Amino acid sequence: MTVIGIDKMSFFSPQQYIDMVELANARGEEPDKYLIGIGQTQQAVIPPTQDVVTMAANAADEMLTASDRKAITMILFATESGIDNSKSGAVYLQRLLGINPYARTIELKQACYAGTFALMQARDYVTLHPTEKVLVIASDIARYGLKTSGEVTQGGGAVAMLVSANPAIAQINQDSQYLSRDVMDFWRPIYADTARVDGKYSANIYQDFFKAIWTRYKQKTGLDINNFQALAFHLPFTKMGLKALRDVLPEASETQQTNLMREFEASRVYNKRIGNLYTGSLYLSLYSLLDNSKTLKAGDHVGMFSYGSGAEGEFYSLTLRPHFKAGLINGQLEELLANRKQITIAEYETIFDNQLSGPLDRQLDTQQDTAKFVLSGLKNEQRQYICH
């Protein structure tokens, strides 16, 4: 049977960040609360010249060849930070990236979960149409507000994944277990540009979902923790994944516990420095795991826990392909992080309040933004995208 899965992955997040010790000092908190209690060291700051469309374009452009652009027949754009209540981000992306016009373009929403749904749809579609490719995007900006308890868990960025037959990175197995329940742990009313959240409740629901779905997964598949070489989690902040992992670690032998903890550390290297990117967080964690693990090898199983508030969760597995590191862009994250500029908390606060919103036409200063795709302003209530 033809193997279907993730062939390539690419990531983008803007060029500036704040340091969590500086944020803790500015907010009168112990730095260790942010560094250890939350598990974040830095946070991406999104300038007004980037939105979910430009971040997606910057991520996907780096990995797509001319022949990929021709072979893509579907763009699935997962986001909860959409820029329009009607038009999908995927349509803009198709034009910006010069993707085959005979492609379907659609946007998907269910909090942080939508990227996983998109990936599953892509896998099923390519199973039926193995010569075609699907571009999956998970792009978001996590905004809670200045001086809120959620502020330390902000961030943003985009993960692009190409789904194809005979993929380089991993097979997506047909073993998903999922659960949905109407819960008000986190939401964003249509008029608001920051999330509403019941923080501790949301963390409890996340853990409850993980335990319930994991139990069901074991019952349905006959697999257990010993079948996995690594577990990757949706990481709204990296301590959250650690809490979930600790819920199931006692099921593993001592050696297996050590191995899973080691891989977990590899899976949170990048998330610690970017922050939450909602739909993309699980996939940045997967990227981090694949890039930083020194022990994972072909044929290994990676368990994936996806969670989106509101709430929906899913657990499924990936099987790594022989040259899985070849599907990542060599040194991409190292370079991106090395080239970022640290800004002060005062600068971040100004940027946070200066996002493009409202109906008034406005020209943005794009000089400082070195990304290839940028948002240059609003004209006749239409976002203006340019390619540097």
* Contact track, ligand HMG, 31-50, x by CB under 6 A: -xx--xxx------------
Shortest gap between Cβ of 305 and ligand HMG (angstroms)? 10
Residue placing its CB nearer to ligand HMG in the complex, 10 or 43: 43
Chain centroid offset of residue 160 CA: 9
Instruction: Check 80, 107, 151, 263 and give the catalytic one.
Output: 80
Burial of residue 254, with CB atoms counted within 10 A of its CB: 0-12 exposed, 13-18 middle, 19 or more buried: exposed
- Residue 9 CB neighbour total at 10 angstroms: 26
DSSP 3-state percent helix, strand, coil across the chain (nearest 5):
40, 25, 35
Shortest gap between Cβ of 157 and ligand HMG (angstroms)? 13
Shortest gap between Cβ of 36 and ligand HMG (angstroms)? 4
**296 makes contact with ligand HMG (CB under 6 A):** no
Q: Determine which residue in the list 46, 197, 248, 277 makes contact with ligand HMG, applying CB under 6 A.
A: 197
Q: Determine which residue in the list 69, 133, 143, 234 makes contact with ligand HMG, applying CB under 6 A.
A: 234
**186 makes contact with ligand HMG (CB under 6 A):** yes
Instruction: Check 151, 234, 263, 312 and give the catalytic one.
Output: 234
Q: Which stretch binds ligand HMG (CB under 6 A): 30-38, 86-94, 295-303, 344-352?
A: 30-38
DSSP states of 207-266: HHHHHHHHHHHHHHH---GGG-SEEEE--SSHHHHHHHHHHHGGGS-HHHHHHHHHHHHH
Q: Determine which residue in the list 264, 278, 287, 385 makes contact with ligand HMG, applying CB under 6 A.
A: 278
Q: Determine which residue in the list 65, 149, 253, 357 makes contact with ligand HMG, applying CB under 6 A.
A: 149
387 is catalytic: no
Residue placing its CB nearer to ligand HMG in the complex, 5 or 155: 155
Six-digit token pair at 143?
Answer: 């905004």
* Contact track, ligand HMG, 50-89, x by CB under 6 A: ------------------------------x---------
User: Which DSSP helix (H) or strand (E) runs through 150?
Assistant: none
Alpha carbon dihedral 230, 289, 307, 7, in 10-degree steps, equals -100
Q: Which stretch binds ligand HMG (CB under 6 A): 4-12, 125-133, 146-154, 379-387?
A: 146-154
234 is catalytic: yes
Shortest gap between Cβ of 84 and ligand HMG (angstroms)? 19
Of residues 300 through 359, those in contact with ligand HMG by CB under 6 A are 307-309
Phi/psi region, residue 358 (left: phi>0; alpha: psi -120 to 50; beta: rest), is left
Alpha-carbon distance of 142 to 124, in angstroms, equals 29
User: Identity (one letter) of the amino acid at 254?
Assistant: E
Bridge partners (DSSP) listed for residue 139: 158
Q: Which stretch binds ligand HMG (CB under 6 A): 59-67, 81-89, 147-155, 357-365?
A: 147-155
Residue placing its CB nearer to ligand HMG in the complex, 152 or 286: 152
Bridge partners (DSSP) listed for residue 385: 375
Residue given tokens 């062939």 in the structure block: 7
Angle at 376 between CA 375 and CA 379, to 5 degrees: 110
Alpha-carbon distance of 50 to 376, in angstroms, equals 9
Shortest gap between Cβ of 382 and ligand HMG (angstroms)? 27
Residue placing its CB nearer to ligand HMG in the complex, 118 or 170: 118
Burial of residue 14, with CB atoms counted within 10 A of its CB: 0-12 exposed, 13-18 middle, 19 or more buried: buried
Residue given tokens 């749904």 in the structure block: 117
Alpha-carbon distance of 48 to 366, in angstroms, equals 9
Q: Which stretch binds ligand HMG (CB under 6 A): 10-18, 88-96, 150-158, 252-260?
A: 150-158
Shortest gap between Cβ of 233 and ligand HMG (angstroms)? 9
CB 71 within 8 A of CB 99: no
388 is catalytic: no
- Please work out the total of residues on this chain that contact ligand HMG, with binding judged by CB under 6 A: 30
**125 makes contact with ligand HMG (CB under 6 A):** no
Alpha-carbon distance of 231 to 259, in angstroms, equals 10
Q: Which residues of this protein are in contact with ligand HMG, per CB under 6 A?
A: 30, 32-33, 36-38, 80, 111-112, 149-150, 152-153, 185-186, 197, 199-200, 202-203, 206, 234, 236-237, 240, 276, 278, 307-309
The residues annotated as belonging to the active site are 80, 112, 234
